[in-house]
Amino acid sequence: MKFLTDRTTGKLAKKLRALGFDVLYWGEGQIEEAARAALAEGRMFLTRSRRIPSLGKDLQVTILEADSPREQVREVLQRLRLEPPEEKYFSRCLLCNEELHPVPKEEVEERVPDFIFRDYDSFHICPRCRRVYWPGTHLERMRKEVDRILSGEDPANWEMIDRTTKGVCRRKEAGEK
């Protein structure tokens, strides 16, 4: 299933991408434009807004009640009866939504910190933004958060996925060792 989120559900996009869903984020313009884009691309429109334009019966819309992006993920999965396959977790770029591609270790040597290159053998790259991803310690924290979302655990006990993603796609700066 493909989704489009608007400004009212923007943080939800990254979390659904982490689960492997194809999610576009519509951050500018009016809600009518976002709804038209969702309809044109055959995407489910996820929003908290109740001002949904009437674009015919083909527009699929889910109006979310939850405030927290984590609770929104749970709400989407439950209401749409979705069970994301674990093999799709972390298969998309969290920033631009493209599917990640495996890349030989040698190709990222100049793009990741030396200790990352030394300690990891598996790397993926986003074909659009060229960010490099690797299975660092952040991956385990993100998996725990996914498990918590899917299990229904109280969100007050969760770690922050937003804190952990900073190391996911860090680019090596020019001159950095």
Percent of the chain scored above 70 by pLDDT?
A: 84
What's the domain range around 118? Answer: 96-167
- Predicted confidence (pLDDT) per residue in 27-69, tens digit: 888 888 998 999 999 999 999 988 876 766 788 999 999 999 9
Sign of CA dihedral 40, 10, 16, 111: positive
Does pTM surpass 0.75? Answer: yes
- Same domain? 6 vs 69: yes
If asked whether residues 11 and 58 sit together in one domain, one would say: yes
Q: Do the domain assignments include residue 139?
A: yes
Q: What is the pLDDT of residue 43?
A: 96
The dihedrals phi and psi of 171, each to the nearest 5 degrees, come to: -95, 140
Q: Is the pLDDT of residue 132 over 80?
A: yes
In a shared domain, residues 76 and 112: no
Q: What is the pLDDT of residues 90-101, one digit of tens each?
A: 999 999 999 999
Does some domain include residue 174?
no
Q: Is residue 177 part of a domain?
A: no
79-90 residue pLDDT tens: 999 988 888 989
Per the structure, the count of domains in the chain is 2
Residue 47 placed within a domain: yes
For the chain, the average pLDDT equals 84
Say whether both 71 and 112 belong to one domain.
no
The residue with greater pLDDT, 167 or 64, is: 64
Whether residue 79 is found in the same domain as residue 105:
no
Domain match, 8 and 74 both: yes
Judge contact between 4 and 43, C-beta under 8 A. Answer: yes
